[in-house]
Amino acid sequence: MVVALRIRGGTVVTLDASRRVVVADVYVDKGRIVAIDGPEQPARRSLDATGMVVIPGMHDLHDHLRDLTPGLRLSGGQRLDDLLRAYWRLSESAGPDEYRIGAALAGARLLKAGVTSVVDHLYPFHRPGLAAAAVQGYTATGIRWFMARGIMTRPYRPICEPSRQAFREIRDLIDDLVPRERLLVAPVSFRQAPVSVYREARRLADRYGLRLYTHVAETAQEVADTRAQYGMRPVELLHHLGFTGSDALLVHCVYLSAREIRSLGRAGTHIVHCPSNHMMLAKGVTPVPALLEAGVNVGLGVDMMGDLFEETRQEVLLQGLHASDPGAVTPETALGMATWRGAAALGMYDLGRLEVGAVADLVCIDVSAAHLQPILDPVWTVVHRVHGHDVAHVVVDGQVVVRSGRLVNVDERALVDEAKEIAARYLRRAGETKQEVMA
């Protein structure tokens, strides 16, 4: 038998039940791993991973890919609510070109840094054609994409949409533009959608077999406002509305009571922590150790920051600092959050580990550089030392999408040049003439 792909000679961090780390060849056929080590098999294609560390593909559970204004001066040093108002105003000027190129550019960046799956929390929908443009951008790169279709009905009228229109458009997406297993119904937050939208989102998800998604318990002010308006804490209110369970992903969850943590564990709800974003905006720390102890599955999100290697590192460091305990979250736990726990949050239980029968998502990391040597523990090195630019090869669903650090499906130079042009026009339309895109 001739298999489709052989990944040769790497140190394989399996993250399987036995947590094996073994120098071995990995064989892939029909999109799945068919052998690790064993007798040599002929293959139609091969990747040389000699001297590299091979890990499962990583899953970015929360991002906003259309952002083309990183480092915009008007957002510097602001807390979340002030930052949101600035971005809402900018969003008035965004259209299909921005959604398409943002999705493509971010997908390319994430792939090159070892992310094989991404959930794009996409909104606002203030113009026609935005969802289709985003899908065009996703598919250009070869990343496995999921659309958390945002619903924003308030408070900034120029970019809000009526809830009826939002739900009609979500129904139109199902299995037409977006496969239902990749579509999440995603009210943005309690500040941007009323409880009636959350109730309808649950009904729609149940009817069509979709997953649910939202930002929640992100700031102390949100908790205070929700208690004042509804007499409940935010996550407690989500439980009341039926917006929890094994089909729900809740992003941030910084401010949780012990009771809420226990109820999340009983419900099987998945949580997404975005450590770098939380630090940048001084939000606070998601209580990951307590959530894991309660049986809650927790994954990681990049949330417009760097890459998932940074987030695994920040998870370990931030939780250790917060608890005054350097071992509050171990490197292996953090890497699990980026891999198999992230896959589980999306219902993909055959991803996130390197074992026979698993879907073939793999990342080969070149560890030859001085900043990574010497290596005594590959997992420790991956979490504490590796950066996105150390990635050599990436495989998604058995397909090579990054080879020797270069994108296979995308002309990166042309993509970057187009993104610069579109970002410059976007800033001019938005009236941001004092800040220019560097040539």
* Lowest-pLDDT choice from 313-317, 356-360, 433-437: 433-437
Query: What gap in Å lies between CA 66 and CA 304, rounded to an integer?
Result: 9
Domain annotation covers residue 33 = yes
Domain annotation covers residue 391 = yes
What average pLDDT score do residues 254-259 get?
98
Same domain? 190 vs 277: yes
Domain annotation covers residue 18 = yes
Residue 267 scores a pLDDT above 90: yes
Q: Which domain holds residue 14?
A: 3-56+352-407
pLDDT at 384: 98
Report which of residues 250 and 439 the model is more confident about.
250
What average pLDDT score do residues 310-337 get?
98
Task: Go through 167-193 and write b for each residue having 16 or more CB atoms within 10 A of its CB, e for each that does not.
Answer: bebbeebbeeebeeebbbbbbbbbbbb
Task: Go through 41-68 and write b for each residue having 16 or more CB atoms within 10 A of its CB, e for each that does not.
Answer: eebeebbebeebbbbbbbbbbbbbbbbb
Other C-beta atoms within 10 Å of 69: how many?
A: 22
Domain annotation covers residue 335 = yes
Same domain? 311 vs 206: yes
pLDDT at 76: 61
pLDDT at 48: 98
* Coil, strand or helix at 278: helix
Domain annotation covers residue 79 = yes
Same domain? 120 vs 261: yes
Domain annotation covers residue 35 = yes
Query: What gap in Å lies between CA 185 and CA 163, rounded to an integer?
Result: 12
Same domain? 102 vs 88: yes
The pLDDT tens digits for 148-197 are: 999 999 999 999 999 999 999 999 999 999 999 999 999 999 999 999 99
* Coil, strand or helix at 160: coil
| Domain end marker among 345, 361, 377 | 345
CA dihedral 398, 403, 408, 412 (to 10 degrees): 140
Element holding 137 (H helix, E strand): helix 130-141
Domain annotation covers residue 292 = yes
Query: pLDDT averaged over the chain?
Result: 95
Q: How many folded domains does the chain comprise?
A: 2
The pLDDT tens digits for 382-398 are: 999 999 999 999 999 99
Same domain? 40 vs 98: no
Same domain? 66 vs 207: yes
* CA within 13 Å, CB half, 294: 23
The pLDDT tens digits for 276-292 are: 999 999 999 999 999 99
Asked if residue 103 lies in contact with residue 142, where contact means CB atoms within 8 angstroms, the answer is no
Check residue 393 and give left, alpha or beta (phi > 0: left; psi -120 to 50: alpha).
beta
Same domain? 47 vs 191: no
Domain annotation covers residue 423 = no
**pLDDT over 90 percentage in the chain:** 90
Same domain? 357 vs 309: no
Residue 434 scores a pLDDT above 70: no
Same domain? 256 vs 334: yes
Asked if residue 251 lies in contact with residue 301, where contact means CB atoms within 8 angstroms, the answer is yes
Task: Go through 125-155 and write b for each residue having 16 or more CB atoms within 10 A of its CB, e for each that does not.
Answer: bbeeebbebbbbbbebbbbbbbbbbbbbbee
β strands within 211-352, DSSP E: 211-216, 248-252, 270-273, 297-300
Same domain? 20 vs 112: no
**Any idea what the CATH number is for the domain that residue 329 is in?**
3.20.20.140
Task: Name the nearest CA neighbour of 166 among 196, 187, 195, 180.
Answer: 187
Same domain? 376 vs 295: no
The pLDDT tens digits for 359-374 are: 999 999 999 999 999 9
| Domain end marker among 322, 345, 368 | 345
Same domain? 203 vs 132: yes
**Any idea what the CATH number is for the domain that residue 34 is in?**
2.30.40.10
The pLDDT tens digits for 7-45 are: 999 999 999 999 999 999 999 999 999 999 889 999 999
Residue 384 amino acid letter: H
On whether the pTM is more than 0.85, the answer is yes
Is residue 11 exposed (0-12), middle (13-18) or buried (19+ Cβ within 10 Å)? Answer: buried
